Amino acid sequence: MSLRKAFRSRKFSKSFRELKLSDEDQASGGGRRIVRDSDCADSSSSPSSSSWSDMLPELLGEIIRRVEASEDKWPHRKNVVACACVCKRWRDITKEIARSPSYSGKITFPSCLKQPGPRDFPHQCLIKRNKKTSTFYLYLALTPSFTDKGKFLLAARRYRHGTNTEYIISLDADDISQGSNAYVGKLSSDFLGTNFTIYDSQPPHSGAKPASSRSTRRFASKQISPQVPAGNFEVGQVSYKFNLLKSRGPRRMICPLICPPSDETSIGKPLDNLKLKKTASTSSGYTFLRNKAPRWHDQLQCWCLNFHGRVTVASVKNFQLVAAVDPSQPGGKGDEETALQFGKVGDDTFTMDYRQPLSAFQAFAICLTSFGTKLACE
């Protein structure tokens, strides 16, 4: 055996022995250990993890690139997340290699839920409803079947405060509260249930001010990052039009939203330096979406929309949201592109397919507005 091979064998055998001892120490402590940035920073200075954090950047990048390329779907996608949990250095390189959902079409980290969806094809998701607990669960569909849950993404619970209704949205299905560390935002409605406001736990841009009303404050929240102010920031509205004449027809809705930037260079950069993609429906930083008008089918005697097989049960909750493309732009055809479609496939199962410019968080919040009776709109 050459000297070079012997040195490598010694070095890696030592690192694996130290790693094994570290695992045994953690196992003796009992319980599951949640990895945070501070934990990774402390562990990187210890001898047990120095061999991992001191790897050559070229070698480390090649390892993570191969894992990223091979583990392209859940549940195997968890191996990419495991690479980001080794230490802070591994996490920084993993974030650089794992591209945003708008380019890769993959949801990897929780931050991806607030980034725009894919460009060319939608993310297909399922929403499961629990009527007894007024809870809703969002899953990323992994198979074409409507019965498989898939990968859990978000959860929401409906609360009634006097005449108003709120939906608290969380990353943790077992801890859905506004004071939880898993809290990501909420949806608030008026008395009639026709006007909704979407609040994000993070500011949509630097300088954004949180809502000042008492009902939108976070009292028991623990601030995760000192640079990000804790609070609720308005990022959109959903309005259903009144049906005063009580004429037959579907619900009509319009959604002005502050959509997240789709530029991949936006990762880790201040939002003020970004430029949103302007369309005919974009004005003053807001993107306006409206429901696609269905057509009346004389033979079936009902309103119809083409959901491409993703909706199987007729319901007044079914809708498609579109944003008109500016025909004056080069390549613009003036056609309507479906940014979000929502429909019923079972008693408590619904499909949610979204794409740019919406994020999973925004799409989920919009779909939550469809639940509940709206006598003034039907």
Ramachandran class of 96: left when φ > 0, alpha when ψ lies in -120 to 50, beta otherwise = alpha
pLDDT at 262 over 70: no
Q: What is the residue whose two structure tokens read 């200075």?
A: 45
Higher per-residue confidence, 360 vs 203: 360
Higher per-residue confidence, 283 vs 194: 194
pLDDT of residue 220: 43
Average pLDDT over residues 261-268: 50
Higher per-residue confidence, 342 vs 331: 342
Average pLDDT over residues 274-283: 40
Q: Is 0.85 topped by the overall pTM? A: no
pLDDT at 342 over 70: yes
| Coil, strand or helix at 253 | strand
pLDDT of residue 324: 54
Average pLDDT over residues 304-328: 81
Average pLDDT, whole number, for the chain? 75
pLDDT at 9 over 70: no
Nearest to 257 by CA among 293, 231, 283: 283
Confidence of residue 71 (pLDDT cuts 50, 70, 90): confident
Nearest to 340 by CA among 113, 54, 122: 122
Average pLDDT over residues 326-341: 62
String of DSSP letters for 254-304: EEEE-PPP--GGGTTS-GGG--PPP-TTEETTEEEEEEPPPEEETTTTEEE
Token pair listed for 30: 């009992």
- Which of 256-260, 271-275, 328-332, 363-367 is most confident? 363-367
Q: Sort 13 into a burial class: Cβ within 10 Å, 0-12 / 13-18 / 19+.
A: exposed
Asked if CATH classification 3.20.90.10 holds for the domain at 123-206+229-262+283-369, the reply, yes or no, is yes
What's the pLDDT tens digit per position in 105-130?
889 899 899 999 998 889 999 999 99
pLDDT at 341 over 70: yes
pLDDT of residue 217: 45
Q: What percent of the chain has pLDDT over 90?
A: 30
Q: Where are the domains of the chain?
A: 57-98, 123-206+229-262+283-369
